[in-house]
Amino acid sequence: TGTAVTIIGLGLMGRALAGAFLKAGHPTTVWNRTAAKADELVAEGAQSAASLADALTASPLTILCLTDYQAVHELLGAHGSGLDDSEPDDSGPHGPGTHSSGPHSPHPHSPGTHSPGTHSPGPAGTTLVNLTSGDSTQARETAEWAGRHGVRYLDGAIMAVPPVIGTAEAVILLSGPRPVFAAHEPVLAALGTVTHLGADPGLASLYDVAGLAMMWSVLNAWLQGTALLRTAGVDAASYAPFAQRIAAVVATWLPGYAAQIDSGSFPAVVSALETDARAMTHLIEESEAAGVNAELPKLFKSMADRAIAAGHGGEQYPVLIEEFGRPAA
Ligand code: NDP
């Protein structure tokens, strides 16, 4: 039999997470503010916790998946969770959220031996994995809050939609103390492709938004080209395969360009930034002549122009990291 796990928050995503754990054979306890959302999962074999406190003590691992961090704090800070700040806690910041460098003690419940009901470890006996979307500051603050309550904590981000949860396509990012991740990795693997990014609990949120920047940039660039080609009667479907090949080729440049960024040296091996900037002018002029939006190419041209004005025209494209690494002038 699998290791017990609890899911708190049974929205579209929480129900998908619980379903994946059930399918993988993990005894699954569920709790939701609106209790009826547990019904279908209970019919599939989940245990419904009678209270939030019961949910938090049912399993060595508790997944949170609520709307936002405010909901997480409202819920866990509430009287009855056993984690509310009104209860005296003089145990000090010794939990996982503090940035202590030493190894954390392994989980007291060895996987497979936990049996809900035979003992009552209290909320601090469970490891919280918060898969609620938020920013890195919220993640770090919540990790500190967990630390103050002696609760082991991982912060996470889900880069997938509910229907793919439980398949390799579901990318689940986690950050926080590695020993905490290692203790629960076998169970978390039921959710999809689970990656631990590092000890800083803010990393999952940062990777999440970095991935969004990638996604929207590729899509916006494709839309720019599609808008241009449509003015010549080329439909989106005809251009898409060409765009797909360009995106795939450009993606192969990233590791080499990353090496330039990490070494702080940008020799123009393939082309110089000023050559790229001339091509950008061409794209802007084509867009304007065709009567399509030119804001996007103007944005990246203005960044390239600033880098050229700062003396980087003879260097390679990733020298623009200096423009990206500070607020706009
Ligand atoms: P839903 O709106 O479907 O569910 C929200 C859940 O949060 C419900 O269980 C709701 O309870 C609960 N909740 C909200 N406020 C409170 C509160 N104050 N106290 C207790 N419970 C509360 O959202 P999703 O399930 O789609 O999303 C959940 C998280 O997953 C979000 O952070 C989202 O960004 C993230 N995510 C979702 C994806 C998706 O495609 N759906 C993709 C990637 C990430 P109740 O039922 O009682 O209202």
Atom of ligand 1 nearest to the CA of 37: 46
pLDDT at 104 over 80: no
Greatest CA separation found in the chain? Answer: 75
SS3 state of residue 293 = coil
- The Cβ of residue 215 has, within 10 Å, a number of other Cβ atoms equal to 11
pLDDT at 88 over 70: no
Instruction: Identify which of 6, 56, 66 to mutate to test ligand 1's pocket (most ligand atoms within 8 A of the CB).
Output: 66
How far does the centroid of ligand 1 lie from the alpha carbon of residue 36, in Å? 15
Q: What is the per-residue pLDDT for 122?
A: 64
**Which of 79-88, 143-152, 192-201 has the least mean pLDDT?**
79-88
**Ligand 1 pocket, residues with Cβ under 6 angstroms:** 9-14, 32-34, 37, 65-68, 71, 74-75, 132-133, 158, 161-162
Mean pLDDT of the region 253-265: 98
Phi/psi for 119 (5° steps) reads -155, 165
Q: What is the per-residue pLDDT for 120?
A: 42
Atom of ligand 1 nearest to the CA of 15: 25
- CB within 8 A of 55, min separation 6: which ones? 6, 8, 29, 30, 31, 49, 62
pLDDT at 238 over 80: yes
Start-to-end CA distance of the chain, whole Å, equals 59
Q: How confident is the model at residue 123 (pLDDT cuts 50, 70, 90)?
A: confident
Choose between 118 and 14: higher pLDDT.
14
Domain boundaries of the chain, sorted by first residue = 5-199, 231-324
What is the percent of the chain with per-residue pLDDT over 70, rounded to a whole number? 88
Measuring from atom 39 of ligand 1, which residue has the nearest CA? 161
pLDDT digits (tens, 9 = 90+) for 21-64: 999 999 999 999 999 999 999 999 999 999 999 999 999 999 99
pLDDT at 306 over 90: yes
Structure token pair of residue 241:
């395969």
How far does the centroid of ligand 1 lie from the alpha carbon of residue 132, in Å? 7
Integer Cα distance of 279 and 145 in angstroms: 51
Atom of ligand 1 nearest to the CA of 70: 18
How far does the centroid of ligand 1 lie from the alpha carbon of residue 133, in Å? 9
Q: What is the per-residue pLDDT for 93?
A: 40
- CB within 8 A of 178, min separation 6: which ones? 196, 198, 199
Instruction: Identify which of 6, 13, 138, 169 to mutate to test ligand 1's pocket (most ligand atoms within 8 A of the CB).
Output: 13
What CATH code would you report for 5-199?
3.40.50.720
Choose between 266 and 328: higher pLDDT.
266
Q: What is the per-residue pLDDT for 80?
A: 80
How far does the centroid of ligand 1 lie from the alpha carbon of residue 259, in Å? 39
Measuring from atom 16 of ligand 1, which residue has the nearest CA? 71
How far does the centroid of ligand 1 lie from the alpha carbon of residue 15, in Å? 10
Structure token pair of residue 171:
């990318």
Q: What is the per-residue pLDDT for 86?
A: 58
Q: Which CATH number fits domain 231-324: 1.10.1040.10, 1.20.1250.20, 2.60.40.1840, 3.40.109.10?
A: 1.10.1040.10
